[in-house]
Amino acid sequence: MLNETISAISTAYGKGGVAVIRISGDNALEVATRVFKPKAKEIEPRRAYYGEITRDKAIIDDGILTYYKAPNSFTGEDVCEICCHGGIYSTQAVLESVLSSGARLAKAGEFTKRAYINGKLTLSRAEAISNVIDAKTDSQLRLSSSIARGTLSAKVEQIRETIISLISRAYAVIDYPDEDIEDNTYEDMKKSIDSVIAGLDSLKRSYKAGKAVSEGVKTAIIGKPNAGKSSLYNMLLGKELAIVTDIAGTTRDVIENTASIGGVTLCLADTAGIRETNDTVEKIGVTRAIQKIEESELILCVFDYSRKEEAEDIQILDEIKNKNAIGIINKTDTSKCISDDFEKKIKKSFDKVVYISTKDESGLKELSKAISDLYELGNFDLSNDAIVANARQSASVSLALDEALYAKEALSCQMTPDVVCFTLEKALSELNMIDLRDAGEEIVNAIFSRFCVGK
Ligand SMILES: Nc1nc2c(ncn2[C@@H]2O[C@H](COP(=O)(O)OP(=O)(O)O)[C@@H](O)[C@H]2O)c(=O)[nH]1
Ligand SMILES: [Mg+2]
């Protein structure tokens, strides 16, 4: 039953100052007031009431009750929130009291699912709420909070409305086949399709930045032994995690961690220095490093300014051919020993070369900018622009764009209006997938089951 009254602890499990027990459904207020005894006689919506919390008629705690009357609540149903002291045992006791007073325990994501079903949230906003909770970097938080507030949904809605109006105009032409499309109707429709295409195209391009922030970029630090890879890894993470020594072959295992550089979420891997070696363990490390080049979406390729280039440097340039890579010349605090010729060769091999010194931490700003530029983060305001942030949304946008381009062609080739209509309807149904407007129950359930209990 959909409007069964449900309840769960909405704050994190563990000891804390306060905890919140959320109750949602037709009987939310009735259930809450069986447990919570306010000092006031009347409970009005959106006001906080102090009172005592009971179980089996005994007072077990005191706290605050807030009542949100449908539809003005998170779920769109009647909602009560009991705020109690945040002990592990005490919070559980308050929940048990609520459950024995007529509510059942909410499933994972059930509050958000109800918000979605009751039209309080679009799917992309609901997903973004879960990303706000999971955010690990400042840019992830800004982006997911912006999508949760509806920036992406609003843009999608605007494009949808234009397509719907186009379809209705095309139908009008179909319904009166004897009349030719008037010139200004035709021009109007063309303009509208162009605006749909421009909107979809900018959403499609935003995924590069959106993915770099939300899903992260698999990045490997590669170079010959002692170039300063582990020092760079530590500098990017702001912590001494990898062992740094002047002994070639120190790093053998691949060590991985997440860093936010220039707003981009880098899933960073430090690797063994690439060279010929007879050491059994180091050999495995070198094989893994080369494998990492294959698996990674971005390579930070480190060269040593303080030593003349060696065969390994040249081998590495070969390994990263056709890869998305940034050249990094490290140890610029020392006097230059790398040859001018090789420096030129490095500059030719990469779109971007950055000079750094991990010793005096110089060049980090430039490296951050190079990474941010690579993923076009400078083109977007993460807090306010409509940005596509997951693969499912991106696929829908691309398919909708293809259909819109086809509709434009159909219109300019003077194809019959039903072709224009048909392609626009396809564009619309692709776009509807972003917020799963036509989604079946199973897909909706699968998405919300990934949320935590109490959300
Ligand atoms: N002078 C100088 N030495 C550095 C710099 N970066 C690293 N080193 C030194 O180079 C050696 C090798 O560094 P490490 O990070 O272990 O290199 P890896 O083998 O590439 O991981 C260590 O002695 C570091 O202290 C730098 O920017 N300047
Ligand atoms: Mg190392």
116 in a structural domain: no
What confidence score (pLDDT) does residue 299 get?
97
Region class of 413: left (phi > 0), else alpha (psi between -120 and 50), else beta: alpha
What confidence score (pLDDT) does residue 404 get?
96
For the ranges 58-62, 100-104, 163-167, the lowest mean pLDDT is seen at: 163-167
What's the 246 CA to ligand 1 centre distance in angstroms? 7
**Which tens digits make up the pLDDT trace of 176-193?**
665 555 666 778 889 999
111 in a structural domain: no
Question: Rounded to whole angstroms, how far apart are CA atoms 398 and 59?
Answer: 58
Question: Rounded to whole angstroms, how far apart are CA atoms 99 and 94?
Answer: 9
Provide the CA 136 distance to its chain's centre, in angstroms: 11
Pocket mutation for ligand 1, best pick of 222, 226, 268 (most atoms within 8 Å of C-beta): 226
Q: Looking at the predicted structure, is the pLDDT value of residue 415 above 80?
A: no
CATH of the domain at 425: 1.20.120.430
Question: Rounded to whole angstroms, how far apart are CA atoms 64 and 19?
Answer: 11
Q: Indicate if 60 and 92 belong to the same structural domain.
A: yes
Cα torsion angle, 58, 63, 69, 73, sign: negative
Last residue of a domain, one of 353, 379, 405: 379
Nearest residue (CA) to ligand 1, atom 28: 331
Q: Indicate if 15 and 85 belong to the same structural domain.
A: yes
Q: Looking at the predicted structure, is the pLDDT value of residue 355 above 90?
A: yes
Q: Looking at the predicted structure, is the pLDDT value of residue 416 above 70?
A: yes
Q: Looking at the predicted structure, is the pLDDT value of residue 91 above 80?
A: yes
Q: Indicate if 369 and 292 belong to the same structural domain.
A: yes
Close Cβ partners of 263 (under 8 Å, ≥ 6 residues apart): 138, 139, 212, 213, 372, 377, 382
**Mean pLDDT across the chain:** 92
Q: Indicate if 15 and 46 belong to the same structural domain.
A: yes
Q: Indicate if 188 and 304 belong to the same structural domain.
A: no
Read off the pLDDT of each residue in 389-411 and give the average, rounded to a whole number: 94
114 in a structural domain: no
Read off the pLDDT of each residue in 125-144 and give the average, rounded to a whole number: 92
**Which tens digits make up the pLDDT trace of 281-318?**
988 998 999 999 999 999 999 999 999 999 999 999 99
Q: Indicate if 335 and 250 belong to the same structural domain.
A: yes
What confidence score (pLDDT) does residue 118 get?
92
Q: Indicate if 234 and 317 belong to the same structural domain.
A: yes
Q: Which ligand lies nearest to the CA atom of residue 229 in the structure?
A: 1
Partnered with residue 223 across adjacent β-strands are 302
For the ranges 175-179, 366-370, 433-437, the lowest mean pLDDT is seen at: 175-179
What's the 310 CA to ligand 1 centre distance in angstroms? 17
Q: Indicate if 139 and 195 belong to the same structural domain.
A: yes
Q: How many domains does the chain have?
A: 3
223 touches ligand 1 (CB under 6 Å): yes
Question: Rounded to whole angstroms, how far apart are CA atoms 321 and 301?
Answer: 11
**Which tens digits make up the pLDDT trace of 12-57?**
888 999 999 999 999 999 999 999 999 999 999 999 999 999 999 9
Nearest residue (CA) to ligand 1, atom 13: 228
363 touches ligand 1 (CB under 6 Å): no
Q: Count CB atoms within 10 A of the CB of residue 183.
A: 8
Q: Which ligand lies nearest to the CA atom of residue 362 in the structure?
A: 1
244 touches ligand 1 (CB under 6 Å): yes
Torsion over CA of 180, 183, 189 and 194, rounded to 10 degrees?
A: 140
What's the 343 CA to ligand 1 centre distance in angstroms? 19
Close Cβ partners of 180 (under 8 Å, ≥ 6 residues apart): none
Q: Looking at the predicted structure, is the pLDDT value of residue 169 above 90?
A: no
Question: Rounded to whole angstroms, how far apart are CA atoms 168 and 162?
Answer: 10
What's the 261 CA to ligand 1 centre distance in angstroms? 21
What letter would DSSP give residue 69? -
Read off the pLDDT of each residue in 316-339 and give the average, rounded to a whole number: 95
226 neighbors 246 (Cβ within 8 angstroms): yes
What confidence score (pLDDT) does residue 176 get?
65
Q: Which ligand lies nearest to the CA atom of residue 246 in the structure?
A: 1
118 in a structural domain: no
285 touches ligand 1 (CB under 6 Å): no
Res. 341 pLDDT band, cuts 50 70 90:
very high
369 touches ligand 1 (CB under 6 Å): no
Q: Looking at the predicted structure, is the pLDDT value of residue 212 above 60?
A: yes
Q: Indicate if 176 and 239 belong to the same structural domain.
A: no
User: For residue 276, what are the domain limits?
Assistant: 216-379
What confidence score (pLDDT) does residue 450 get?
73
What's the 1 CA to ligand 2 centre distance in angstroms? 59
What confidence score (pLDDT) does residue 178 get?
59
222 touches ligand 1 (CB under 6 Å): no
